[in-house]
Amino acid sequence: MLAAMPAESPVVTAKEPRPAVFLPLYRQIRDLLVRSLDAGEWKPGELIPSEIELAARFQVSQGTVRKAVDELAAENLLVRRQGKGTFVATHHEPRAQFRFLRVMPDAGDPEPPHSRFLECRRVRAPADIARQLDLRTGDAVVYLRRVLSFGGAPIVLEEIWLPGTLFRGLTAERLAEYKGPLYGLFESEFGTHMIRAEENLRAVAADAAAVAALSVTAGSPLLLVERVSYSYGDRAVEVRRGQYVTEHYHYRNTLS
């Protein structure tokens, strides 16, 4: 419970520095909600307190809380459900399946891919991976390599690097027995929820690894998608590089 204060005054706690006076109040509430999410006060998929309860907790108006929650819903951190309340977003929801996987068929409806892991091992972080994950060169990372198939056809070859301290215990055996979305596994078993990503796309020619995994000819054009994914607090927690066959598929994004 925050200390008593006049309604709609800046929200601070005894252990936190006073926020800048120009920060709108609803943004202060939004940031406090994110801290609660990061601390695990409400788990992915769980119902959060009502707007009335949050307004009483932070001693602000319900309208201010609603504006903060609206912003978090727009950022896909929270999900509103008519007549049920507001829930913490989870990667286990069907609607989240294609939020980070943007490959779509040229014809027909998108379908969840089949994932086949080729490698899972702990390695020392190369310099470029360490830099992107804010690690030191040589720190332990978990390296994954897998193929995503759609309709039985191999379409994506991915390489993934994860911080070793966060993903201690991730093994090839665990991946083999898990049947859900990979980000769902990261969320439920390693407490790491992906909330946003930055991507770079460019064209490349298929190398020997792609030829073997994707059944394409050497030098065939592929789309390379390089991603850094972030969790709460803007912490980089994954580097991913995927080579995509685009003969009957394309990479779709929505700008708004």
- Residue 4 covered by a domain: no
User: Which range has highest mean pLDDT (12-16, 18-22, 79-83, 121-125)?
Assistant: 121-125
Pairing of strands 114-124, 140-150: antiparallel
Is residue 63 located within the same domain as residue 135? no
- Residue 5 covered by a domain: no
Q: Over pLDDT 90: what percentage of the chain? A: 73
Whole-angstrom distance, CA of residue 109 vs CA of residue 115: 19
Q: How many structural domains are present in the chain?
A: 2
Q: What is the CA radius of gyration of the chain?
A: 21
- Residue 20 covered by a domain: no
- Look-up of token digits 């040229």: 106
Structure tokens at 136: 């030191």
Whole-angstrom distance, CA of residue 86 vs CA of residue 69: 9
State the angle between helix axes of 51-58 and 25-38 in degrees (0 to 180), rounded to the nearest 10.
100
Is residue 105 located within the same domain as residue 223? yes
Closest by CA to 112, choosing from 167, 80, 149, is 149
Count Cβ atoms below 10 Å from residue 149 Cβ, excluding itself. 14
- The pTM assigned to this predicted structure is 0.82
Rounded mean pLDDT of 100-108?
86
pLDDT at 3 over 50: no
Is residue 127 located within the same domain as residue 233? yes
Q: Per-residue confidence at 103, pLDDT binned at 50, 70, 90?
A: confident
76: left (phi over 0), alpha (psi -120 to 50) or beta: left
Closest by CA to 193, choosing from 161, 238, 148, 227, is 238
pLDDT at 101 over 90: no
Is residue 159 located within the same domain as residue 80? no
Q: What is the pLDDT of residues 197-249, one digit of tens each?
A: 999 999 999 999 999 999 999 999 999 999 999 999 899 999 999 999 999 99
Structure tokens at 2: 């925050």
Is residue 152 located within the same domain as residue 122? yes
Handedness of CA 170, 172, 176, 181 (dihedral sign): positive
Is residue 68 located within the same domain as residue 104? no
- Look-up of token digits 């008519």: 82
Q: Which domain holds residue 52?
A: 25-88
